[in-house]
A and B are shown apart, each in its own frame.
Chain A
């Protein structure tokens, strides 16, 4: 920031320099002065703020007298530090008698109707109201009348219960639903002493991010239904971890008690989730501590899976792997850590000498099929999550963003709400992005290429310099038959709206985000080629994003769980079988052994029938699993493995950020991390892989996979490290794309 943007202020006599317009409370933080607050939150707008009055301070500003002398003029009334932008020369006092008396009065006032049932309040022990009262409040209250009473634990949503008696009307929760999640669910009803929080028409609160209001509520008014009465803050231990429910990689804390997960709270990481989580993550991680978790190995005996000891199970596995020779394969790894995946591929490639490895279960097969790397030089996301904030325009294509990539959705919304970005969206059906996307168009399913060709046509006319790009001749020829009207007719989007989309893309740096409607398109590669054309043509070749969806699918790719590439995308000489080919081979009894590593093809593979035939046939199936999934039920050996809470390691999120997870507790002595299972099997095959910890493995990865050279355990820290491609792609080109209406497309591959 330039020097002239800084102002000098004094807080309790301590001089600090802060950017002009900073709220006084932030300036005080910088000066190391503590100002108590309830309603202030740095991520929420101040428009509906300054409700609690806890942060009152006395302020004086310099004023020039008629004779030109400068004197300090004290503001006649105390000011709320959270909503007061600092100005040059301002002096703020936080310890005057007036301020101390004000704080006492405010707290006495807030506590008039507060039930003070701390012993049974889930917030007790970590409650700002408790803390502020202890440090700044009066010892007792003069209010002897009956307090107001409301029913306790009013069910606000599936996950949130509301205690109306405890609310102090700070409006943090209402501002959250307006500023951050964008579902505008919560509002104040009635006024004065009767005021309370509810949804506008008193229906259920419907939100993908409702869990966050529990964390930002400064009292125990909004509470988690799952965590209710489960533990007090001093009962629980906490471990740093990463959410496994999607590929965004939210930083979370696992709060656990006697070896069971009690709740999940967000952990601050400005680069990823800021301080939010989605409900899938916050309330969906409880799978870790359910009674259905496998705790002993199972072996199929007389047709049924029966408990066995670890050595029995491993000896059987090893014996069958020996018999199988090279006719082995492994599917899965998208939920495992990088360390697990690295050892898995090392075990298969170096010990079993097989390249039959694949982590992909869907129809979309990145990176081989996507072509993104060939065109633009990266496999999935060109931008970091935080980059979306600075984009002028963001074009979301074929993605129900809020469900597929919740944290990306929040960033995109932030770009619109706070950074002046413009969002355009094209989807086969309306999604939650309608709230702020302008325009949001709904195209005929499968007609992505037609729509994109219409936009490209406009941009090609406006951007004559594109003619220098390699492939321009053929490309423009292939567009000859296209006009905006034709695009409009084919895609079902009006010509006027196509023009507006083109205008928005033309107006500045644009990021593209493509989602499931694109990746699961029968002709996905054509759509992706068209998006690449659009990006190259508009000068945004570095801004195409086709994020993976599973927790560590990115890491699995990086670690070489692909039939055709080893760790770090080094091509292998003899590519192995991919998921479909392995399943087909198993169904035809051409594969002797198949190892499912946290993969459940019966439930998740597009062709469940094929999966069932493959696993139910002669192939010896080993399943490393947390639960007895439909696929594990068909396996010959089921090995219990550690979940995210029970192991150390790293995950790589969709933007390629490598982040650490830490072991919180142990489930049972027979439950090991996946890497240990492969290392153990390898040892039993007399080719030991001598690793003692996930750290050892990560250090080896640092050496053997150049892309991960910087991601050493020491350097990862709290924010993680986003690994970079060695160089940006320089030979960009345009490629003709043929539009095939959906009916004419046969399923790829």
Chain B
């Protein structure tokens, strides 16, 4: 019968070696993040909660074209368009989204909507804390998705000529 002590001692030695290595390493790198007090930096192309963006002058980029809704594999976007008027202008050009809704429960964060959008209006950003208490609250409305107005935005609504001039100008 072989000696039982030797292999056990060998195994114990290996375990101890890893344990000590681990203790040493932990002093240098910290794998566990103390969420929510601490947060990890997100990758730049992370796709989480959607945002409807604005031009620098405050006009909405979304033109209500529904291309995002068409591209969405989960069919979770609802867009209803309406016509801008000189009295009430929301976006440059003729058309804007009067209703824009995303059912975030059905969204699979594929980012196709962002890819389809001709104006770069809908983007997926880094806010991943999407838990909520009520199913209805997962229906993100346009108001919830829109970026806040930039601080120095022209007061909306703005007249047509002015809005035309402003597009692009804001980009520089």
Contact = CB atoms under 8 A, between A and B. Distances in A.
Contacts of A231: 66
Contacts of A229: 64, 81-83, 94-95
Given A119-B118, A229-B82, A234 B94 contact: no
Nearest to B119: A119
Interface string A202-234: 000000000000000000000000001111101
B93 interface: yes
A234 B70 contact: yes
Interface string A120-163: 10001100000000000000000000000000110000000000
A232 B83 contact: no
A234 B64 contact: no
A468 interface: no
B95 A120 contact: yes
Nearest to B83: A229
B138 to A, nearest CB: 18
B65 A234 contact: no
B69 A235 contact: yes
26 contacts: A119-B63, A119-B65, A119-B118, A119-B119, A120-B63, A120-B93, A120-B94, A120-B95, A125-B70, A152-B94, A153-B94, A228-B83, A229-B64, A229-B82, A229-B83, A229-B94, A229-B95, A230-B81, A231-B66, A232-B67, A232-B70, A234-B69, A234-B70, A235-B69, A235-B70, A258-B78
A235 B95 contact: no
Contacts of B119: 119
Contacts of B69: 232, 234-235
A258 B80 CA distance: 11
A120 B65 contact: yes
Given A120-B64, A120-B95, 19 more contacts: A117-B93, A119-B67, A119-B118, A119-B119, A120-B93, A120-B94, A124-B65, A125-B70, A229-B64, A229-B81, A229-B83, A229-B94, A231-B66, A232-B65, A232-B66, A234-B66, A234-B69, A235-B66, A235-B70
Contacts of B93: 117, 120
B2 to A, nearest CB: 74
Contacts of B83: 228-229
A232 B71 CA distance: 12
Nearest to A125: B70
Q: Which bucket holds chain B's interface residue count?
A: 10 to 19
B80 to A, nearest CB: 8
Nearest to B70: A234
Interface string A100-130: 0000000000000000010110001100000
A236 to B, nearest CB: 10
A138 B153 CA distance: 41
Interface of A: 117, 119-120, 124-125, 152-153, 228-232, 234-235, 258
Among B67, B69, B79, the one with the most A-chain Cβ atoms within 10 Å of its Cβ is B67
B124 to A, nearest CB: 20
Nearest to B71: A234
Contacts of A258: 78
A247 to B, nearest CB: 36
Contacts of B64: 120, 229
A119 B68 CA distance: 11
A21 to B, nearest CB: 43
A153 B78 CA distance: 25
Centre residue among A117, A120, A229, A234 by max chain B CB count within 10 A = A229
A163 to B, nearest CB: 10
A231 B95 CA distance: 12
Contacts of A117: 93
Of residues B69, B78, B93, B94, which shows the largest number of chain A Cβ atoms within 10 Å of its Cβ?
A: B94
A117 B65 CA distance: 10
A258 B78 CA distance: 10
Contacts of B66: 231-232, 234-235
Nearest to A232: B66
A120 B93 CA distance: 9
Contacts of B67: 119, 232
Contacts of B78: 258
A386 to B, nearest CB: 39
B32 to A, nearest CB: 46
Contacts of B94: 120, 152-153, 229
A426 to B, nearest CB: 48
Interface string B110-122: 0000000011000
Contacts of A119: 63, 65, 67, 118-119
Nearest to A163: B94
A234 B78 CA distance: 12
A153 B64 CA distance: 17
Interface in B77-99: 78-79, 81-83, 93-95
Interface in B21-77: 63-67, 69-70
A304 to B, nearest CB: 36
A348 B8 CA distance: 98
Interface in B132-157: none
A234 B65 CA distance: 11
Centre residue among A119, A228, A231 by max chain B CB count within 10 A: A119
Report, nearest first, the 4 A-B pairs whose CB atoms are least far apart: A119-B65, A232-B66, A229-B81, A120-B95
A709 B79 CA distance: 47
Contacts of A230: 81
Nearest to A231: B66
Nearest to B95: A120
A347 to B, nearest CB: 42
